[in-house]
Amino acid sequence: MSVFPLSFTRQEPLAKVQAGSIPKRRRDWRDISFKTLLVLAGLVVVYLAWQSDVSTRAIEILWYAPVSRTTLIIGITYGLATTVWCFWRLWLVLRYRPFPLVDEEQLPSVTVVVPAFNEGALVRETLRCLARVDYPRDRFRIIVVDDGSTDDTWAHIKTTAAEIGSVVTPIRCPTNRGKRWALWEGFRRGEGEVFVTVDSDSLVEPGALRALVSPMVRDQRIGAVAGNVQVLNLQDGLIPRMMAVRYVMTFDYKRASQSMMGGGAVLCCAGALAAYRRSAVLPVLEQWLHQTFRGAPARAGEDHAMTNFILSRGLKVCYQRSARVRTNTPKTYAGLCKMFLRWGRSNVRETIHTGRYVFTPFREESRLGIRFNFVMGALGLFMPYLFLGSALLLAILLPAVFGLKLLAACVFGSIFTILFCLVRERSSDALFGMPYAFYSTFLLWWIWPYALLTCDRSVWLTRTAAPASGDRDRSWLKRVAIRIRPATAVVQTHAAPDAASHPTAAAA
């Protein structure tokens, strides 16, 4: 096995960080007490709702009002369809199995593209983590693109490139043009048979790349593969721990089920870790770069867009659970809202994009499941929020009936998530699915309707100036505790070819 000439110290902390989707935390009394309170609170809500018979009273109130009766019938019909959809996807998940790894001699050449903007020292750890992946060195290259950063990101890129050696090609764009343009710079320079994208604040497991490209070797009709994205900064509070449960449902439930539809119909390969077949990317590269929506350039959601273009050409897109990467998630309410708003807007745009081809004979494999999933997903853009808005209004007007019913609905709605994560992860952190149900219902409900109404505003929202690298070191890097001893061999910075002659990028 080819390895990089780097020697590392204190690998054990990284191994612990990457051990599983929801790492086992130290069971101190605060953690146990909080989870116990979650269970007790859920039981109290359910008991009060049952004793008050609020479900029967709520239905009686709605049934005898003509307008609300129609809404109730529509809601029950949609609820039944959603239940069928939910358990159908669960059945697909139970059948899902990751693709087996291929032998080393079968591995294709890979170009990893890392776009970076104002990441400071974080990009250094991402590159160092990539340098230790279990992949043949003669078939592995890294292109890191500094998208016009205004902090010390470029300095960290140059320093780390010198440590790792010529396997890294650093590119510096003189101005910030957006993540899509940064990825384009990497794609157009990449020489690998497979392009892999990794976000500049993400850490990949050593075996992630081998696992990620194996499906493409086994099936030539697979055009893209989605990796398994997990939360890194669990120590940063309640929001990251709730998001860890959300990520499990997003990838091990949603992506895994989509991967089983017609041989592979994953709708979005998250940019934190995704693989694209070169022959699938190049024919749509310019169309993807200059994509517009309602007359404006489409900036956010570049990963969703690329996946959609590849699907529209009749190729399969699969999910590989064994290809794991850890990434930071927002730890504040404002940051979480910005992330969800960006996701929501791109989801609206790409749902419209998918609707243009999903009912055509766009692929040879079965299309029935993909179409049912599309219809339910499209309805999910607005239907749940019509009922949720009505429920919140009724809860304010009649809190003793509808307020208690809404609380009980949050508890019951989280049971599926808790059980799934508990079985999948074997961790009591699955209980954080309950506070997330309340959090999303009462504090995040407005995001998706607002995203629907403002879907033409294609701005990044979360690509802002980073704190000083020293602050980043104290708050994140020291806790991750990844340390690398520079290579003893002579190393050099690898200059980007043709960078000086291209108007959007320049090498050091």
Band of residue 117 on the pLDDT scale cut at 50, 70, 90: very high
pLDDT value at residue 275: 98
pLDDT digits (tens, 9 = 90+) for 359-381: 999 999 999 999 999 999 999 99
Band of residue 472 on the pLDDT scale cut at 50, 70, 90: very low
Amino acid sitting at position 129: C
User: Which of 104-108, 127-131, 465-469, 477-481 has the lowest average pLDDT?
Assistant: 477-481
pLDDT value at residue 461: 52
Cα–Cα distance measured from residue 307 to residue 260, given in angstroms and rounded to the nearest whole number: 16
Whether 87 and 399 have beta carbons less than 8 Å apart is answered as no
**Cβ neighbours, 10 Å, residue 404:** 21
pLDDT digits (tens, 9 = 90+) for 241-269: 999 999 999 999 999 999 999 999 999 99
What is the full DSSP assignment across 396-428? HHSIIIIIHHHHHHHHHHHHHHHHHHHHHH--G
User: Which of 62-66, 202-206, 278-282, 461-465 has the lowest average pLDDT?
Assistant: 461-465
Mean of the per-residue pLDDT values for the chain?
84
> Has residue 460 got a pLDDT over 60?
no
pLDDT digits (tens, 9 = 90+) for 216-242: 999 999 999 999 999 999 999 999 999
Residue whose pair of structure tokens reads 């790492």 in the numeric block:
23
pLDDT digits (tens, 9 = 90+) for 301-322: 999 999 999 999 999 999 999 9
Per-residue burial over 465-484, b if 16 or more Cβ lie within 10 Å, else e, is: ebeebeebbeebbeebebeb
pLDDT digits (tens, 9 = 90+) for 13-40: 344 444 344 454 455 788 888 999 999 9
> Has residue 102 got a pLDDT over 50?
yes
Domain ranges of the chain: 22-101+202-487
Residues with Cβ within 8 Å of 397's Cβ and at least 6 positions away in sequence, in order, are: none
pLDDT value at residue 496: 36
Residues with Cβ within 8 Å of 358's Cβ and at least 6 positions away in sequence, in order, are: 367, 370, 371, 374
Cα–Cα distance measured from residue 17 to residue 20, given in angstroms and rounded to the nearest whole number: 8
pTM as predicted: 0.83
